[in-house]
Amino acid sequence: MKKKVTIQDIARKANVSKSTVSRVLNKTTPVEEKKATAVLAAMKQLNFRPNAFARGLAGGQSMTIGVVTQNIGSPFYDAVTQGVISALSATEYSPIFVDGQWNKEIEATSIRTLLNRQVDGLILIGGNLPANELKKLVESKPLVLVAQRLEGFEKNCLSVDNVEAGLKATQFLLDLGHREIAHIAGIPEHEDAIQRLNGYKTALQNAGIALNPKLLVDGNFSSQSGVLAVESLLARGVSFSAIFAANDEMACGARLALYRRGIRVPEDVSLIGFDNQPASAFMTPPLTTVAQPSREMGSAAAQIILQQIAGEEFQAPSFPVEIVVRESAIRRW
């Protein structure tokens, strides 16, 4: 273990005061050219590494953004995370991640450790903290919510219009000629799931098609639940020519269940998912899906946090969705 080198050391070596060193380090005040280079030289020579803790303590800024993800490993959240990382990597700030695991308790304590670490801002990606907790947070720290709504703080919230997205997906199938369209919904309490379902209902209504409850199955966003959903559908004996799943993972599970029953996609039934996760393009057949601009949402989140920290005006933009047409749903019915 080598002893640490501090600005004191390099001050001595460059024959200046600590302050001057600090100044060249932060470019906060002009410094005489000559001294500056001497300082830089000393820093390099001694392999100086500013102590982030000391800086944070003294300056009051930690230069870190806390990011709470849910279940690292889920394609959508991963993509958002990527966006945050890349947007932040161009700045002085670095992100520190904790995993909320879709668990209220864990999420709360995770946020607490983040706060203890003096993060300068907080990005919550997904999550299900009660609104009053969130309000407390938003009032004390720069905050951005991704894929989550908070009454009265719309400008801190980043998400797509899930109703419209659900409507579009369903409409797409209707335009193909389908009349019997099943929907595999997400977690019933989940806002996104509810809205996508609403979009589905609205589209049907617009088309003058009565909603058939038998065509509605609850899932929980996992592949496994997609499998079960299709089996349940089949067990009910309803006929359907298309399925709209509330996310790609469930679509993937559904596809497997169909395969096992010898039902072909898209010849016998069309399938459309949601999220455009990377693997979807490589399913057999490739999955038609609704794309959210997740990466863009991640970098927007980073930007907005930075604006808040800087005390600037900010306003969360709204993000458009788009249907990515692939073979799983191209056959006219």
Query: Where on the chain is the footprint of a second copy (CB under 8 A)?
Result: 1-2, 49-54, 56-57, 62, 64, 72-73, 75, 78-79, 81-82, 85, 89, 94-99, 106, 112-113, 115-118, 140, 223, 252-253, 255-256, 259, 278-279, 281-286
Residue 19's binding partner among a second copy, DNA, none (Cβ under 5 to 8 angstroms by kind) is DNA
Closest CA to 144 of 319, 293, 307, 294: 307
**CA dist., res. 155 & res. 192, Å (int):** 18
Q: Tokens for 108?
A: 């709360």
**CA dist., res. 271 & res. 34, Å (int):** 69
Find the binding residues for DNA in span 95-154 (CB under 7 A). Answer: none
Residue 169's binding partner among DNA, a second copy, none (Cβ under 5 to 8 angstroms by kind) is none
In the set 17, 103, 223, 307, which binds DNA (CB under 7 A)? 17
**CB of residue 215 vs a second copy: minimum separation in angstroms?**
22
User: Is 51 one of the binding residues for DNA (CB under 7 A)?
Assistant: yes
Closest CA to 218 of 207, 226, 209: 226
Name the one range near DNA by CB under 7 A: 25-33, 71-79, 143-151, 165-173.
25-33
Closest CA to 56 of 45, 44, 64: 64
User: Is 38 one of the binding residues for DNA (CB under 7 A)?
Assistant: no
Residue 61 or 86 with smaller CB distance to DNA: 61
Span between the terminal Cα atoms of the chain, in Å = 71
Residue 18 or 214 with smaller CB distance to DNA: 18
Classify the C-alpha dihedral 238-241-247-248 as positive or negative: positive
**CB of residue 129 vs DNA: minimum separation in angstroms?**
24
User: Is 310 one of the binding residues for DNA (CB under 7 A)?
Assistant: no
CA distances from 324 to 170, 278, 292, 294 (A): 13, 12, 10, 14
- Write down how long the chain is: 333
**CB of residue 1 vs a second copy: minimum separation in angstroms?**
6
**286 secondary structure, DSSP code:** P
Residue 17's binding partner among a second copy, DNA, none (Cβ under 5 to 8 angstroms by kind) is DNA
Token pair 């099943």 is found at 182
Phi, psi of 239 (to 5 degrees): -95, 145
Binding footprint of DNA on the chain (CB under 7 A): 4, 6-8, 15-20, 22-23, 25-26, 28-32, 35-36, 48-51, 54-55, 57-59
